[in-house]
Amino acid sequence: MMKYGETEKKNVKTLADMYKEFLDAGKTERECAANISRIAREHGYRDLEEILENGESLKAGDKVYAVNMNKAVLMMEIGTDPMEKGMLLVGSHIDSPRLDIKQKPLYENSGMAYLDTHYYGGIKKYQWVASPLALHGTVVKKDGTVIEVSIGENPEDPVIGVTDILVHLSAKQMEKPGSTVIEGEALDLLVGSTPAESEDEEKKENAVKEYINQLLKEKYNIEEEDFVSAELEAVPAGKARDFGLDASMIMAYGQDDRICAFCSLMGFLYSEQTSKTKVCLFVDKEEIGSVGATGMHSHFLENTAAEVMNALGQYSELKLRRALKNSKMLSADVSAGYDPLYSEAFEKNNSSFLGKGPTINKYTGSRGKSGSNDASAEYLGKLRGIFDSRNVVYQTAELGKIDVGGGGTIAYIPAAYGMDVVDLGIPVLNMHAQYEICSKVDVYEASRCYKAFYDLM
Ligand code: MN
Ligand code: MN
């Protein structure tokens, strides 16, 4: 634990409370993007879409934000330097592992109604059974009507969930390897057991499913075929909570990577005005390879930078390329917190410990650093100087022992422009489990760290 004075201790607590609210307000990428957009507007950021529609120009000091398909957000504060000199970026991801509802999900079996799911991201499937889940998402009707769904978060709401076989009859199941103890197709959500009252003989057969259909129609105006154009996600129900008898930690769903989203947002909003253009980026689809229109591989950053440069009267293809190449970035994603109960997975000297500040991962990847962005020594040297000048506490680590696994972040993608990028994020325990654990001290130190980057880089 860091040695803090009374003021700092108070700051740690205040920030932790704000962070818990941020988590509760955004349990899906869509909700999180909407919440970030709301915070942006409250801080005087204007929607770039609106500026472009009005044909307005931009100037140094202007604050704008752009939203990509309701799932990714970019906030930018324009500096006095020409954009081609480069930007300062911190980028995180706001998607998290969960159970997505299939496009034809609803069925009945043995008097019970189920929603079939397809899991999203890397999960230990056995962690997602016998627990309360909430249903969040968006349903779009044929006429374009958008219906927002959130069931299971209020204490008076019902919850849904996946069942598991009782231990008394688990002899066979318990012999299976962990990866198949629960199969992907067994992750179906039990959602009802009440039969609909009907004279129609055909409907009697699927009366429980029929009742769920009636409920969805009455409460949400959703028809069964509307699932085809829906994005519904089952996520752990309930709010973020203090963790530990000393309440020094936070346990919550989706901290990978909304913890870095929150801390980078804090660092960004409270950074000092400098001549540099600052960007805070929140992307989707990291957990499935940063693919698609809303993942880091999309051209969202590049296109938004081009639009801003154009509105500044600074656009040319070459200047845009220079802007990207001359940028510096922190890829803000979580690190594997050292867990002494599983010490065999870590090499202790190069591990990340809860409560010891954010972690620099020079490289990630697996085996021989495969798939990793290997940040340059020159860039790391500069960052060390900046963090030390602000007395920011940080650590360095690898993602566990060599050859036991591995992983990646968005870092290697923007690095392709030739910009300096390094991973700097917060250690968590239980990563990708329903409830992940972080240290409040690290939320505070990481926010200071991102702020120092924006202020001094
Ligand atoms: Mn992540
Ligand atoms: Mn992850």
Q: Dump the DSSP string for 119-132.
A: EESS--GGGGSSS-
Ligand nearest to the CA of 93: 1
Cα 94 to middle of ligand 2, angstroms: 10
Q: Report pLDDT digits (tens) over 433-453.
A: 999 999 999 999 999 999 999
Position with higher pLDDT, 55 vs 365: 55
Cα 67 to middle of ligand 2, angstroms: 22
Q: Report pLDDT digits (tens) over 125-153.
A: 999 999 999 999 999 999 999 999 999 99
Q: What is the DSSP string of 358-422?
A: -EEES--EETTTBT-----HHHHHHHHHHHHHTT---EE--SSSTTS-EE--STHHHHTTT-EEE
> Per-residue confidence at 260, pLDDT binned at 50, 70, 90?
very high
Residue 263 structure tokens: 């801390």
Do the Cβ atoms of 265 and 259 come closer than 8 Å? Answer: no
Cα 347 to middle of ligand 2, angstroms: 20
Cα 322 to middle of ligand 2, angstroms: 31
pLDDT, residue 198, reads 76
Ligand nearest to the CA of 423: 1
Q: Is the model's pLDDT at 322 over the cut of 80?
A: yes
Cα 164 to middle of ligand 2, angstroms: 25
Q: Is the model's pLDDT at 202 over the cut of 70?
A: no
Ligand nearest to the CA of 97: 2
Cα 154 to middle of ligand 2, angstroms: 27
- The alpha carbon dihedral of 79, 82, 83, 88 has a sign of negative
Residue 41 structure tokens: 């507007």
Cα 146 to middle of ligand 1, angstroms: 29
For residues 255 and 28, give the distance between their C-alpha atoms in angstroms, rounded to a whole number. Answer: 11
Q: Report pLDDT digits (tens) over 354-381.
A: 999 999 999 998 999 998 899 999 999 9
Q: Is the model's pLDDT at 204 over the cut of 80?
A: no
Q: For the whole model, what pTM was predicted?
A: 0.97
Cα 32 to middle of ligand 1, angstroms: 15
CB contact set of 43 (below 8 Å; sequence gap of 6+): 63, 269
Cα 434 to middle of ligand 2, angstroms: 12
Residue 224 structure tokens: 């069964």
**CA 86 from chain center: how many Å?**
26
Ligand nearest to the CA of 331: 1
Ligand nearest to the CA of 287: 2
* Short-list 208, 189, 188, CA closest to 198: 208
Cα 433 to middle of ligand 2, angstroms: 10
For residues 368 and 363, give the distance between their C-alpha atoms in angstroms, rounded to a whole number. Answer: 11
Cα 49 to middle of ligand 1, angstroms: 28
Ligand nearest to the CA of 122: 2
Mean pLDDT, the chain, integer: 96
Position with higher pLDDT, 441 vs 3: 441
- The mean pLDDT of 73-100, rounded to a whole number, is 98
For residues 304 and 177, give the distance between their C-alpha atoms in angstroms, rounded to a whole number. Answer: 46
Q: Where are the beta strands (DSSP E) in 152-266?
A: 189-192, 230-236, 241-243, 249-252
Q: Is the model's pLDDT at 1 over the cut of 60?
A: no
pLDDT > 90 fraction of the chain, expressed in percent and rounded = 94
Cα 424 to middle of ligand 1, angstroms: 11
DSSP 26: -
Cα 257 to middle of ligand 2, angstroms: 7
Cα 139 to middle of ligand 2, angstroms: 26
- The mean pLDDT of 28-43, rounded to a whole number, is 98
Cα 372 to middle of ligand 1, angstroms: 14
Cα 410 to middle of ligand 1, angstroms: 9
Ligand 2 (single-atom ion) residues, CB below 5 Å:
256
pLDDT, residue 203, reads 65
The maximal CA–CA distance of the chain, rounded, in angstroms, is 77
pLDDT, residue 200, reads 72
> Per-residue confidence at 187, pLDDT binned at 50, 70, 90?
very high
Cα 333 to middle of ligand 1, angstroms: 5
Q: Kindly list the strands in the beta sheet with 189-192, ordered across the sheet, starting from the edge strand earlier in the chain.
A: 146-151, 133-140, 230-236, 98-109, 112-120, 189-192
**CA 319 from chain center: how many Å?**
31
Q: Is the model's pLDDT at 82 over the cut of 60?
A: yes
Cα 288 to middle of ligand 2, angstroms: 9
